[in-house]
Amino acid sequence: MREGYLNLETLWFALIAVLWIGYFFLEGFDFGVGVLLPFLGRDDVDRRILVNTIGPVWDGNEVWLIVAGGATFAAFPEWYATLFSGFYLALFLILAALIFRGVAFEFRGKGRHPEWKRWWDRAIFWGSAVPALLWGLAFANILRGVPIDANKEWAGSFLDLLDPYALLGGATSFLLFALHGGVFLTLKTDGEMRDRARRAAELLAWPATAAVLGFLTWTFFNARENGGTAPGVVRGVVPVVALIAVAAVAWLLRMKLDGWAFLATGLAIVGVTATIFLHLYPRVMVSSLGGANDLTIWNASSTHYTLKVMTIVALIFAPLVLAYQGWTYWVFRKRIGRKDIEEQPNTV
């Protein structure tokens, strides 16, 4: 074990945190658009507008999840094994929802019957709502503590995950992603849809702010009893920035500063997620059966050689992936309105 922060174990803990932050920032607005689909889409043209705003990018955003899972498996196999053992049902529901949502994007336009499209619209809604809720619940449980025995194995049941703090974490992620999606639509749509999305985001801003305030406050008091060793100043500043950012969204939307509002919702997601990881470090999972059973970056990691090879690979390929995804967003930056859909009735 090497003390301090200058070691490969800390580096890969930080990189995995960055991957999850990137995933929630990008996939968060995908989830939000899916959740808002039945509320903002008053007819088939409206719903096609909403689907087309995320159609070119949703699968690229999910690459962050795949890489985060793969990095966890390679860098911290004990973390990966215990997490998937204990959170099996929750992760299975997330995976099933993501699969149905992806199928819905591809098959919605394959039939013309209204009932066909309605079924796939429901799949998009539930495929977005379920992960938006369960991701927050899962990460809140990772920080709160779950039954992990002395053998570093799961010793509980699914019901152990349904703690009030974890449920608040789920509600917080759900509301934040819905708000993020609503603000994203103000940047990607035109006309009445844009106005409708702005009104929906303004309505969501206040419950999202209340949820973030409650979750971060509870996290602070929980961390005082069961805190990590990340720098205290950083752990204090990050959640305050997240709260200020989400609290400013409603005002920014009223002033029609939609770009700044999107930056604020993104900053709130980044801040809440970073708060969880900062309070975790140097642990990767907290045991509710005693601190001696915690999984840490030391007892859950791969060998030093494995981490070294992974670091070299990441330095080579990460810039290429980031450049490609940035280029994708640049290509598909155009706003979408009813005229774009009505002029191309067969475009999906």
Phi, psi (5° rounding) for residue 4? Answer: 85, -170
CB atoms within 10 A of CB 266: 21
CA distance 330 to 310: 30
CA distance 303 to 86: 24
pLDDT in tens, 40-71: 998 889 999 999 999 889 988 999 999 999 99
- Pick from 87, 49, 285: which is nearest to 186 by CA? 49
Q: Are 173 and 136 in contact (CB under 8 A)?
A: yes
pLDDT in tens, 79-126: 999 998 889 999 999 999 999 999 999 888 887 888 888 999 999 999
In the chain, helix, strand, coil percent, each to 5? Answer: 80, 5, 20
Nearby residues of 5 by Cβ (< 8 Å), 6 or more positions away? none
Give the pLDDT of residue 348: 45
| Residue 224 banded pLDDT, cuts 50, 70, 90 | low
Rounded to 5°, the CA angle 204-181-68 comes to: 120
| Residue 333 banded pLDDT, cuts 50, 70, 90 | confident
Q: What CATH homologous superfamily does 12-342 map to?
A: Formate dehydrogenase/DMSO reductase domain (1.20.1630.10)
CB atoms within 10 A of CB 162: 13
Give the pLDDT of residue 24: 97
CA distance 49 to 341: 7
pTM of the model: 0.91
pLDDT in tens, 3-28: 556 789 999 999 999 999 999 999 99
Q: Which of 138-142, 232-236, 281-285 bottoms out in mean pLDDT, i.e. has the lowest? A: 232-236
> What's the residue count for the chain?
348
